[in-house]
Structure 1
Amino acid sequence: MRIRDLEGWTIAFDLDGTLVDSAPDLIGTLNRMLAPRGYPPVPLSSARHLVGHGARALLRHGFAEAGAVWDEVAEPELFDLFIDDYVAHIADDSQAFDGVVETLDHLAARGALLCVATNKRTDLAVALIDALGLARHFVVVAGPDLVSARKPDGAHVREAVQLAGGDPARAVMVGDATTDTGSARAAGVPCVVAGFGYNDAPLAELGGDIVIDCFPELIAAVETLHRMATQSAALAPEAAAI
């Protein structure tokens, strides 16, 4: 039986590019929007960085990558077409990154609360998580429609943690992009960067506290952040007494 040393701590996860390699299905849907309009497909290899900022952002930037412009006012139905197509193909090729299930099980067994804070709409995030059999791991899945602001606003992370029954003062954010590190900084929460994800800036510039190269490395990263927080808390009364 593992010691529940992470009891009282909450770990919030980004979804696309952190827990799940969802780019193949998202870019597949994008390309199915481009093709009937006469635009070339966007190669997956050059479009992974487009994922993680929400469907509208993916459409705008994806069309730009193809040398086109999506005029949302002139063609508002495209967004709904995109969502309908994506739902139909949400887990055709998407899959959890290696080590996700084992790592989540390990952290939960040590007492951590786990939640998701994603810029993906909540219903879409839940559908993807369900399709991949990951739902049992998370107390809450919070898209921007479930909280008062979307990442990089700190409210997204804070409120996701609170919805999970956790305390933002004892939380860790795990993500792969500037929206995640920005939200974590704004919330006063340490951030672990998934270096294998859809990084939208050089790793050294993302502003995370620890970078991991594969998902199982998250265990040691959380242990380090937990130890640092515990030591800081122990030193606080001594500093106050000086």
Structure 2
Amino acid sequence: MRMRDLEGWTIAFDLDGTLVETAPDLIGTLNRMLAARDIPAMPVEAAQHLVGHGALALLRHGFQEAGAAWDEAGAPALLEEFLADYLANIAVHSRPYDGVVETLERLAARGALLCVATNKRTDLSVALIGALGLERHFAVVCGPDRVSARKPDGAHVREAVAMAGGDPARAIMVGDGAPDVQAAKGAGVACVVVTFGYTPIPPADLGGDVLIDRFGELEAAIAALVADQALRRASKA
């Protein structure tokens, strides 16, 4: 039997670009809205950097980059249109990255609490996670509407970990972009950065503690970070 060596630790995950490749469905919704206004579609690879800052930011910058007029006064109605279409098509092409399910299962078997800290609205996050059959892995799914401040504020990570029943002093953030790294730093926790996500900034320049190229590398990265914290605590004793 595997020793529960991660007992007492909480791993907080970003969602889009970290656990799940969501760009095809998010950009699909954006493109249907553009097409309805006779504006050319954006290729997924040209727009995936827009993912990860929330639906309104994706919509605003997506319209602007496509050359469409953006009226901030009309943003609420456009956002509702976007969210309705996206919810109806939330898992058409979105899939967990290779190794996600197996890694989550192994981390849980080793005693880790798992949660999601995402800038995607909670109801959309829960719908996506449920559609992909991932809900059993997480103690809580925490979008920006469930916390006092969204990423890049550290409160998002601290409060998500606390809602999961974990200790914010023994937590690790896993993400793909600047908001994840900045939130981890603000919460005083280490951050593992995946290199396959949606950041427009090179992953190596984000300032995370460890970079991984595949989800299968996450366990080793977490073990190294946990060991490092144990050494630092021992040196202070």
1:137-176 counterparts in 2 under 5 A? 137-176=137-176
Residues 1:54 and 2:57 aligned together = no
Please provide the CA RMSD for this pair: 0.8
Deviations 1:25-82 (A, max 9, x none): 0000000111111211011011111101100000011011201232130353111110
Deviations 1:122-180 (A, max 9, x none): 00000000000000000000000001000000000000000001111100000000000
Structure 2 SS opposite 1:172: strand
1:79-90 counterparts in 2 under 5 A? 79-90=79-90
Structure 1 residues without counterparts, runs of 5 or longer: 238-242
Please give the TM-score of this superposition, normalised by the length of structure 2: 0.98
Give the percent of matched residue pairs that are identical in Structure 1 and Structure 2: 68
1:27-176 counterparts in 2 under 5 A? 27-74=27-74, 76-176=76-176
Deviations 1:81-111 (A, max 9, x none): 1000000000000000000000000000000
Structure 2 SS opposite 1:15: coil
Does the CA contact (< 8 Å) of 1:178 and 1:200 recur in 2? no
The letter of the residue matching 2:172 is V
Does the CA contact (< 8 Å) of 1:152 and 1:182 recur in 2? yes
How big is the shift at 1:205?
A: 1.5
Runs of 4+ deviating beyond 6 Å: none
How big is the shift at 1:226?
A: 0.5
Partner of 1:4: 4
Partner of 1:224: 224
Structure 1 SS opposite 2:227: helix
Name the stretch that deviates more: 94-103 or 41-50.
Answer: 41-50
Name the stretch that deviates more: 224-233 or 200-209.
Answer: 200-209
Does the CA contact (< 8 Å) of 1:122 and 1:145 recur in 2? yes
Give the Cα separation in 2 of the matches to 1:93 and 1:172.
29
Partner of 2:181: 181
Give the Cα separation in 2 of the matches to 1:151 and 1:75.
21
Give the Cα separation in 1 of the matches to 2:94 and 2:65.
22
Please give the TM-score of this superposition, normalised by the length of structure 1: 0.96
Structure 2 residues without counterparts, runs of 5 or longer: none
1:10-21 counterparts in 2 under 5 A? 10-21=10-21
Name the stretch that deviates more: 41-50 or 5-14.
Answer: 41-50
